[in-house]
Structures are given as structure tokens and as C-alpha cells.
Amino acid sequence: MSIDRDQYLIQDEPFYRESGGEVKLFEAAYAARLPVMIKGPTGCGKSRFVEYMAWKLGKPVVTVACNEDMTAADLVGRYLLDAQGTRWQDGPLTIAARIGAICYLDEVVEARQDTTVVIHPLTDYRRALPLDKKGEVLHAHEDFQLVISYNPGYQSLMKDLKQSTKQRFTALEFEYPESDTETEIVSRETGIDGAMARKLVDIGCRGRNLKGHGLDEGISTRLLVYAAHLIQHGVEPRQACRMALIQPITDDTDIRDNLESAFDLIF
């Protein structure tokens, strides 16, 4: 069965603001067809960066949101029964290897370790994917590249990549953008004025200072964009911040009061 490659192309340029030379680094890794691991906190722009690079390179991208129930068959493919009998259906990893796409495994540590092992032959000189159930060894298209991402802040003994997996990848480390860049992102993404975007970023920075002091994660750029969207749709700024910036990240009343105080200072 032929695969429509165009359906995996990013048609319109995603807005992305570079912050540390990561675009050229990724381009070099792609030119050498090296697998890339992107590390960074929740909502800092990892997925947007991959979409932007796929658009910039003119390559299709197949994205997989990893989860703990995902099996190797979910990635590689399986036999299915239909009215005509038994047929093979490629999984997203196999599709990407066939058509020469960037395969992006988002939050890869959420997948079971026995599942992620299937990517190993695609990350070295072999660039091959054994389809054991089909009795086929698929040699990846020359344009294929594997990209994974995860949040090191959620690492644990139970949820971490094996060293045998990590050492198959080059790596880019992301952090939240510096204030001026983040203000531009929030404003461009939502149409909100720069002054209000700056206030939201100031609140975000204060929230991030609480990481490790009651918060597992700080306020992400994604949540700042959510707050800005609410304000653009007529929600009063303090209410928008409570809904988008406080209630999603904590149930602790002391931390909520601390962030509420930040609203009073900034607004």
C-alpha cells in the first residue's frame, strides 16, 4: 500500500524564535543523519522546534506521543483482520522509515523500556528496522531521522532512558527562553500587546523560582500563552492567570497565595 507522504509535511511555517544556535546544530545533525535527543522542561518549545525544523528542511514529520501502555507493535506495526483477510499495517516508526520522514517520539521516557529498544537498530550504522512478525528487515530511507524528547525534571529510577539508548543520540538541551524572547513569543502567538505579555512573563519567572520549593515544575511558556489567549478573549487578567498559571500546576494553598501576591505586585 502506498503512503501519502505529503500528509506528513508541515505546510505553514510554525513560529519559532531561536535562543541558542539550536537551528544550525540540528541542521548539522540532520545532514549527517544523526539521531537527536531534545531535553527540556514541560512547555518550553521542544515539539514546536521539531515542527519548525521539519518545515525548514522540507521534510515530513511523524509524531508519536509516547505513553506507558505503548507496545513495540504500536510503533512498528501489526497484522490486522478485515473483510479480505489478514493484512499488515505499518506503525508510525515504520511509516517514517519508509517515506524518509523525521520520526519524533515525544516524551519517550513514558514508553516502556522494552518498547524503546526497538529503535536501537535505527540509531547506528545499520539504519534498519527488523519487522520480526512480517519477516522483513526494513532499511530506512536516506532522508529518515529519529528525534526523541523528554523532560529530565521527571526522571526517576522507574522512568529514565537506559544508557544504552542515551548513548545512541546527540543531544540538545532546552530551557525556557530569556525574558525578551519569551515576551515576543507570547505576543506573537496570541496577538496580545507587548506590555501585557511582559507582565505574564514576569509572573512566569517568579513561578519558576518556586521550582524545588513546593513546585515540581515552573510555569511553562505554553501556560503563559494560554493565559494570554484568555485575556485576548475578554477574561480579566488576574482571573486568566489563576485559571492558566496557578490552578493547573499546584493544589498547595501556600504556593497559590505566593503566586497571588505576585499578581498584586505586577498588575
* pLDDT tens digits along 95-135: 999 999 999 999 999 988 888 899 999 999 999 999 998 99
User: Binning pLDDT at 50, 70 and 90, where does residue 37 land?
Assistant: very high
Burial annotation 116-126 (CB, 10 A radius, 16+ → b, else e): bebbebbbeee
- The CATH code of domain 5-173 reads 3.40.50.300
Domain layout of the chain by residue ranges: 5-173, 179-266
Strands (E), 160-228: 170-173
pLDDT at residue number 251: 87
**Per the structure block, which three cell numbers stand in for 212?**
524545588
Q: Are 62 and 100 in contact (CB under 8 A)?
A: no
CA angle, corner 229, sides to 227 and 232, nearest 5?
110
Q: How many CB atoms lie within 10 A of CB 163?
A: 8
Q: Which three cell numbers stand for residue 111?
A: 514508553
Q: What are phi and psi of 187, to 5 degrees?
A: -65, -45
Please tell me the predicted confidence (pLDDT) of residue 252. Answer: 86
Low-confidence winner among 67-71, 184-188, 219-223, 256-260 (lowest mean pLDDT): 256-260
Task: Give the position of cell 499495517.
Answer: 89
Distance CA 199, CA 45 (A): 20
The pTM for the full model equals 0.90
The residue ranking higher by pLDDT, 231 or 20, is 231
Q: Which residue has the higher pLDDT, 98 or 2?
A: 98
* Adjacent-strand bridge partners of 130: 137
Name the amino acid, one letter, at 171. A
Instruction: Please name every residue paired with 79 in a beta bridge, in sequence order, or none if there are none.
Output: 88
